[in-house]
Amino acid sequence: MSETTASLGAGATTSAVSARSRTGRARRGALVALRAVQVLLALFYGTASALPKLMAHPTAVESFDRIGWGSGAMYTVGALELAGAVALLIPVLQSVAAIALGALMVGAFIVQLTAFDGQNAATPLILIAPLALIAWTRRSHNTALLRLLRRG
């Protein structure tokens, strides 16, 4: 009977260690996937979204003129998007950057609905989902950022 108990105990321990190992690998995989999403979003915001505004591409100029905001707003939004793209790649700023870009996307959604009759209104909504995930998952970095700001 003690042999059975001993073998059961060893098997249970091995099983628990194996389960923790799988959980650790799954968590690590999820964090790597999240980091990949952050890099892709940073590339999107930096190149496809901010760059045309900062270079005054004719389509960006036309869009901001149609809204009635002009080039000053275009450059401001482009700069905010570029800053958000860079901040998505800096660990201590990741959550704050995702929140700020998410707020920018809420504004973009409202503008798409009101000034452009809903044309491309889904794009900002689609971008909000991964930004919310990043903000939530990386929220522990906010404590580190607050510590840095208080120290500084």
State the pLDDT at residue 16. 63
Name the DSSP letter for residue 116: S
State the pLDDT at residue 23. 83
State the pLDDT at residue 99. 97
What is the rounded CA–CA span in Å between residue 152 and residue 142? 15
State the pLDDT at residue 21. 73
Residues 6+ away with beta carbon under 8 Å from 78: 49, 50, 51, 52, 53, 54, 60
What is the rounded CA–CA span in Å between residue 77 and residue 53? 8
State the pLDDT at residue 4. 47
What's at 14, amino acid-wise? T
Specify the pTM: 0.82
Mean pLDDT of successive 10-residue stretches along the chain, which has 152 residues: 49 62 86 96 97 97 94 97 97 96 97 92 96 95 90 80
